[in-house]
Amino acid sequence: MRISFIIICIVLSVVGYTFFSCDIFHEEEPAPFTMQVFPDSMEAITGQRCVFLVKIEDEGGGRGEGEDVTITGNANNSEVNVTPTKCSPGKVAEATVIPDTNNIGTPISLEINGQRNGMLRSINTSINIVQGEDYLKDSAEQIRNRFIPWLAENYPEFGLSNETDWTGTIVTPNILIVANYLFFSDRWEMDLTYHVMIPPHDWARIYLRQRFEEMQPSYAFEISSLEAQDTPKPITPPETVLR
């Protein structure tokens, strides 16, 4: 009887150890994720806001699936501002670099990192600094304001009005025939593109991307001729944002 009791105790000990070691010491692998950065390079002048889009997607199950990924950025001789620093799968963060005179003559190498539960993803991109200046600000703001009252009346769900605060920056500064300017509100990125030509070819277009939600524009509108005071009309948005 005593021997049987000892055998039973040994068996229970082995079973208990196996259960304990499997359930307590075995940790689930971290959930993998992908990180997409757009664009893969950029050309800019000093003072330009260079905004890279960073999108996170879950790639499989595991520990931390669905949780935020921490986004950071590093660049040579430049500050990188990431918003938001914690990005949920399916959402979009923005990594912004503003070149200054210290960057003239040396490309900016930018590394964007995503980290979650010890898993790291890194993507390298670059900014080539060219000569130029922002000569479009005043005209771009005037043309932007031609769209705003019409949008406020016809698309009130956008939340845009004459009181909306915008931060603007030139893009593609050395393209002369088609001028490009970006405006950022709290919610929207507006890409303004206009044709520097005489009527009736003096069109202007805006493309709207919902910040932190989308990688590409979801709405687009056109004034067919600025001088003719044409009313804005919806058009098909492009597949990518302008940078």
Q: What is the pLDDT along the chain (243 residues), one digit of tens a residue?
A: 445 544 444 443 444 444 444 444 457 899 999 999 999 999 999 999 999 999 999 998 999 999 999 999 999 989 999 999 999 999 999 999 999 998 988 999 999 999 999 999 999 999 999 999 999 999 999 999 999 999 999 999 999 999 999 999 999 888 878 999 999 999 999 999 999 777 788 999 999 999 999 999 999 999 999 999 999 999 999 999 999
pLDDT at res. 187 = 98
b/e per residue 170-185 (b: at least 16 CB within 10 A): bbbbeeeeebbbbbbb
Identify the CATH assignment for 33-129 out of 3.30.930.10, 3.40.50.1820, 2.60.40.10, 3.30.460.90. 2.60.40.10
What is the pLDDT at residue 26? 56
Strands 80-83 and 33-38: unpaired
- Nearest 5°: phi and psi at 167? -115, 125
Residue-level pLDDT at 10: 42
What is this structure's pTM?
A: 0.86
Give the three-class secondary structure for 117: coil
Burial annotation 57-79 (CB, 10 A radius, 16+ → b, else e): ebeeeeebbeeebebebebeebe
| pLDDT of amino acid 105 | 85
pLDDT of residue 77: 87
For residue 164, give both structure tokens.
């909306």
Closest CA to 207 of 216, 226, 188, 220: 220
pLDDT number for residue 6:
45
Residue-level pLDDT at 18: 43
